[in-house]
């Protein structure tokens, strides 16, 4: 009983999501979503194509990481205008 390539990609995606739960940096979230996308492509197009899979993983990881940084930005990361600050001396 051997695992298919898409099943391995799903397992890697789940591992990335679990790692993300411990780090809370949103980097591994992007990698997990990209692993699920690669698994879907592997399932639809029957198997492993290393160059295609790495390219899809890299592109989707970067897109999701940049989008999640913008969506989940902390209040402390935002710039604060000091012009109307009461405590300004």
Report if residue 63 sits inside a domain. yes
CA distances from 54 to 41, 45, 61 (A): 12, 15, 10
Contact by Cβ (8 Å): 47, 16 = no
Question: Considering the entire predicted model, what is its pTM?
Answer: 0.79
- The answer to whether residue 16 scores a pLDDT higher than 90 is yes
Region 22-35 average pLDDT: 93
Please tell me the total count of domains within the chain: 1
Domain limits for position 55: 5-71
Q: For residue 80, is it within any domain?
A: no
Residue 9 lies in a domain: yes
- Tell me, yes or no, whether 21 lies in a domain: yes
In a domain, 89, yes or no: no
In a domain, 53, yes or no: yes
Assess whether pLDDT exceeds 70 at residue 43.
yes
Q: How many CA atoms lie within 13 A of 35 on its CB side?
A: 18
Residue 70 burial (C-beta neighbours within 10 Å; 0-12, 13-18, 19+):
exposed
43 within some domain: yes
Would you state the structure tokens that stand for residue 70, as one six-digit string?
Answer: 């913008």
Residue 88 lies in a domain: no
């Amino acid at each position: 009983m051997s695992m298919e390539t898409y099943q391995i990609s799903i397992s890697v995606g789940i591992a990335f999501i679990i790692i993300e739960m411990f780090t809370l940096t949103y980097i591994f979230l992007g990698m997990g979503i990209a692993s699920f996308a690669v698994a879907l492509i592997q399932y639809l197009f029957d198997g492993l194509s290393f160059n295609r899979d790495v390219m899809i993983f890299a592109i989707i990881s970067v897109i999701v990481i940049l989008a999640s940084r913008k969506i989940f930005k902390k209040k402390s990361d935002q710039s604060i205008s000091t012009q109307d600050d009461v405590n300004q001396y």
